[in-house]
Copies of this chain bind each other. A is one copy, B any other.
């Protein structure tokens, strides 16, 4: 994939994601792995109104190759995801109310979803009886330390679709733009359902397998 193609796809995706309310207050950041390197959104822009000037090109070591703007503080975490998951070509990081709240009320180290047909919108999931497990990491302003934690976790429990950062948001990956958008939409639907369902459980401990 050429840089320009990746950037076009992310500009379009940004408009849709912004309409959903998942990147408020210039929050969130998006990236893609291209045939030469990486492209990542610059810091501080409205993700619903991205343009070519709001992207930065990085080389494989994460050094800026092109783009005058400041890279997102969370670029390191994007690069970690690409290193850990060789098939990932897109990473979308979003802030929804459901992801933020759910990652706080679940006290354990993962959100475990079961019983939802929509789980099948995630690559490799074939039944609602499967347990779809999304790891939850405590938030950390030190992104290098957070990235290491994610990498360490991956050694014993491979990350497949994405991760939640507690009180912060979701990182979701995909092989192409269609897959990453579908997985984002599927996960956000599941988060909304689970947040509603837990209001009726009275037993939050039960849901952290």
Taking Cβ atoms with an 8 Å cutoff, the residues of A that contact B are 24-27, 95, 97, 100-101, 104-105, 115-118, 121, 126-129, 139, 141, 165-169, 182-183, 185-186, 188-189, 192-193, 195-200, 204
Contacts and interface: CB of A to CB of B under 8 A. Distances in A.
A172 to B, nearest CB: 12
A165 B198 CA distance: 19
Nearest to A184: B25
Nearest to A100: B193
B195 A204 contact: no
How many copies of the polypeptide does the oligomer hold?
4
A25 B196 contact: no
A200 B195 CA distance: 10
Given A24-B186, A116-B167, 10 more contacts: A24-B189, A27-B117, A97-B193, A100-B117, A105-B200, A115-B167, A117-B165, A117-B167, A128-B139, A128-B167
Contact of A169 (B117, B166, B183, B192): B117
Contact of A25 (B26, B97, B118, B167): B118
A104 B196 CA distance: 11
Given A24-B186, A126-B141, A196 B117 contact: no
Contact of A139 (B117, B121, B189): B117
Contact of A198 (B126, B200, B204): B200
Nearest to A114: B167
8 contacts: A25-B118, A27-B121, A95-B117, A95-B118, A101-B196, A115-B166, A115-B167, A117-B169
Contact of A101 (B121, B127, B169, B193): B193
Contacts of A100: 116-118, 193
